[in-house]
Amino acid sequence: MCGIVGFWSVSQEIDPGIAERMALSIEKRGPDDAGVWADRSVGLALAHRRLSILDLSPAGHQPMVSPCGRYVLVYNGEIYNHLDLRRDLESEGGHFAWMGHSDTETLLAALRHWGVESALRRCNGMFAFALWDERERILYLARDRMGEKPLYYGRNGGTFLFASELKAMTIFPDWQGEVNRDALALYLRHNYVPSPWSIYRGIFKLPPAHFMTVREGGQQVGVPVCYWSLPAIASDGVRQTGDVSTLTDELDILLRQAVGSRMMSDVPLGAFLSGGFDSTMVVAQMQAQNTRPVKTFSIGFHEKGHNEAQYAKAVAMHLGTDHTELYVSPEEAMSVIPRLPEIYDEPFADSSQIPTFLVSQLAQRHVTVSLSGDGGDELFCGYNRYALGYGIWSKLRLMPAPLRQALGWAMDHAPLQSLARLQRLLPKRMQAANLPDQLPKLAQVLCHREGESFYRDLISHWKHPDQVVLGAKEPETILSQSGRLANLPDLRNRMMLLDMLTYLPDDILTKVDRASMAVSLEARVPLLDHRLVEFAWRIPLEYKVHSGQGKWLFRQVLYRYVPQNLMERPKMGFGVPIEHWLRGPLRDWAEELLDEKRLREEAFFDPAPIRRKWSEHVTGKRRWHYYLWDVLMFQAWLDRWK
């Protein structure tokens, strides 16, 4: 894994040292090697930081120039089928004098031979890259299908910039960095800034599965082009038929291939293991293809309701992995908080960022690459909100509006103790550690008449963020224009598609990328192999949800490797007790950041709703920690970057 940066200026008086310093700011992404390439005649500079994974020799050095001298590549990621691509290139009559066995060299050859779009369609991997075509004077930027690797771009004055992380852009001379208040409103709704926006005005995220062209000294930026359309795949409908045994076999083979290809490495490799379905599946598939025990890692918390370490240990014992676990004290977990604005150099408020960093830190002490189990919930209908939200929507939408409003009011104002008692009355499969947080969310969205708007509010934090952010107008997003997406017949399919286009790349994958890269660990996500994604959209929904149970077909594969009784338990999020910390050890820190006078002077937020929620939370009247964490993470980010 690596970090890439570059700039293209209308001025030919460029200093390549600027690109070098930009790359140095993201050294953690690539501590093993560094390189800079510049062409003063056009005002272009590219720089790279390398974390050596494949071909540790200098043959993998970047920026990499093609043998013909026409192309220059800086690249962050892994192309898992790069050896297959080499064979395809050679079979088509290409004459390649390979200098080494790095996937960078393969990617550069593929881009030369097939062109950008065709090469992208052939690649199976996670990546972000910039390719300079010297003859045509075109700079290409591209990102992988699911958005595993980040890529920011935009203009600072008269210069076009791009980078793996925003912090690299802030190094550029005369960096402007104006906060985009509209993007800040989106952040309060989602707890992340969704693509294509960034927290800075004029700086954007290249969407997943897109590439773009830049011309004329960075002054002409083409519209991003989609080379693999997830909505189109979803809208094609069910095309996979067959009995359960046949589909289970096919899924098992695809999972084995996806995991096996991601075990390609010239450095030590392991896996995160939480004990949940997804990470257990990844580790089971790894161990089935390995003659030696796979190295697995988990962290635990002493707080009941936030600890899955005992389940991970049981899975590790059954599969026979070389397991390492670390129990983290509240003080150790909270010590990560001051580092978050540096790690996530854009406001980011998914509190599981803390344990994700801690387990990455643990793994990096033993391995350089770790496989992660993210993506299974979005692919196979696994989130509790799919079952709970859909079930309530299906029944309550038939009720008269006044009755729904009354029920919503009752749920919204129920004491926390009553919500906890209600949870114990629900079927086991619908129980969740955070149900007292989910039910008030449901209460606020019961008046919707349309499924997509219901879901948008269900997954939103601040429901009217442009009333909280001063001078903001919340932009339209995929979630607010979901009618443009595939016409899927079931709301649960539409929920999954919306999550795969938004929450997955901009929250889950961002969290994993930044946490792992902060400790120079490469994280790979095999469940997002595009062949698996396409398979999941081809099978009928009833093979994902069966008798009210999500991930049904996925479970049938898993039970070939792990006993069912080892896995059946209420779903538990990978989180920390932020709710209690804000009332206890973090209270003074939060009070300082949420001080009314400070909020008024900074003039980003209307203090009134924030102070009201803070008061209700610290007195125990309501649980507003998700809303407050959003504001606190922005305030902490503002302290570091403005």
- Concatenated DSSP letters of 172-197: STT----B-HHHHHHHHHHSS--TTB
Amino acid identity of residue 113, one-letter, is H
| pLDDT tier for residue 153 given thresholds of 50, 70 and 90 | very high
Q: What is the sign, positive or negative, of the torsion defined by CA atoms of 620, 622, 625, 631?
A: negative
Regarding whether 130 and 262 lie in a shared domain, the answer is no
CA distances from 214 to 16, 18, 63, 100, 111 (A): 19, 20, 18, 30, 16
| pLDDT tier for residue 389 given thresholds of 50, 70 and 90 | confident
CA–CA separation, 378 and 389 (whole Å): 15
| pLDDT tier for residue 402 given thresholds of 50, 70 and 90 | low
| pLDDT tier for residue 432 given thresholds of 50, 70 and 90 | low
Look up residue 263 and give its two tokens: 């075990």
Instruction: Cite the beta strand spans of 256-408 per DSSP E.
Output: 269-272, 295-301, 322-328, 369-371
SS3 call for 42: coil
Report which DSSP code applies to 592. Answer: H
Average pLDDT over residues 158-185: 96
pLDDT of residue 405: 62
Domain that holds residue 154: 2-228
Share the mean pLDDT of the chain: 90
pLDDT of residue 130: 98
Domain finish residue from 439, 463, 498: 498
pLDDT of residue 198: 98
Question: Which of 14-23, 427-436, 610-619 is predicted least confidently?
Answer: 427-436
| pLDDT tier for residue 308 given thresholds of 50, 70 and 90 | confident
- Whether 613 maps to a domain, the answer reads yes
Regarding whether 375 and 317 lie in a shared domain, the answer is yes
Cβ burial 307-316 (10 Å sphere, 16+ → b, else e): bbbebbbbbb
Regarding whether 209 and 63 lie in a shared domain, the answer is yes
Domain finish residue from 228, 255, 280: 228
Residue 55, phi then psi, degrees to nearest 5:
60, 85
pLDDT of residue 93: 73
Look up residue 104 and give its two tokens: 């960078």
CA–CA separation, 129 and 211 (whole Å): 9
Q: Is 103 annotated as a binding residue?
A: yes
Domain finish residue from 171, 199, 228: 228
Report whether pLDDT(434) > 90: no
More confident residue, 52 or 371: 371
Regarding whether 370 and 419 lie in a shared domain, the answer is no
- Whether 571 maps to a domain, the answer reads no
| pLDDT tier for residue 100 given thresholds of 50, 70 and 90 | confident
- Whether 573 maps to a domain, the answer reads no
Regarding whether 364 and 269 lie in a shared domain, the answer is yes
Quickly list H helices, 262-289. Answer: 277-288
CB 188 within 8 A of CB 470: no
Active site residues: 2
pLDDT of residue 457: 85
Average pLDDT over residues 401-424: 60
Contacts from 58-65 at CB under 8 Å and sequence distance 24+?
59/99, 59/100, 59/101, 59/102, 59/105, 60/100, 60/102, 60/104, 60/105, 61/33, 61/35, 62/2, 62/33, 62/35, 62/104, 63/35, 63/36, 63/37, 64/104, 64/105, 64/108, 65/37
CATH number at residue 97: 3.60.20.10
Regarding whether 181 and 104 lie in a shared domain, the answer is yes
Report whether pLDDT(232) > 70: yes
Q: Tens digits of per-residue pLDDT, 553-601?
A: 999 999 999 999 999 876 666 678 899 999 999 999 999 999 999 999 9
Residue 194, phi then psi, degrees to nearest 5:
-75, 150
Q: What angle do CA 628, 631, 637 make, to 5 degrees?
A: 135
Number of domains in the chain: 4
CA–CA separation, 611 and 588 (whole Å): 14
CA distances from 132 to 59, 75, 125 (A): 19, 12, 21
Report whether pLDDT(78) > 60: yes
- Whether 572 maps to a domain, the answer reads no
Regarding whether 153 and 43 lie in a shared domain, the answer is yes
Q: Tens digits of per-residue pLDDT, 243-287?
A: 899 999 999 999 999 999 999 988 999 999 999 999 999 999 999
Instruction: Cite the beta strand spans of 235-305 per DSSP E.
Output: 269-272, 295-301
Regarding whether 408 and 372 lie in a shared domain, the answer is no
CATH number at residue 527: 3.40.50.620
pLDDT of residue 24: 97
pLDDT of residue 423: 53
pLDDT of residue 302: 80
Q: Is 373 annotated as a binding residue?
A: yes
Question: Which of 350-354, 376-380, 424-428 is predicted least confidently?
Answer: 424-428
Q: In what order do the strands lie in the sheet with 522-524?
A: 322-328, 295-301, 269-272, 369-371, 522-524
Helix axis angle for 451-458 and 491-501, nearest 10°, is 50
pLDDT above 70 covers a percentage of the chain that reads 89
Regarding whether 517 and 493 lie in a shared domain, the answer is no
Regarding whether 167 and 29 lie in a shared domain, the answer is yes
| pLDDT tier for residue 548 given thresholds of 50, 70 and 90 | confident
pLDDT of residue 305: 65
CA distances from 259 to 368, 372, 468, 560 (A): 17, 10, 44, 16
Report whether pLDDT(507) > 90: yes
pLDDT of residue 139: 98
Region of 525 (left: φ > 0; alpha: ψ -120 to 50; beta: rest) is beta
pLDDT of residue 559: 97
Report whether pLDDT(33) > 80: yes
Regarding whether 270 and 157 lie in a shared domain, the answer is no
Regarding whether 286 and 409 lie in a shared domain, the answer is no
Beta bridge partners of 210: 226
**H-run or E-run covering 243:** none
pLDDT of residue 610: 98
- Whether 126 maps to a domain, the answer reads yes
More confident residue, 604 or 12: 604
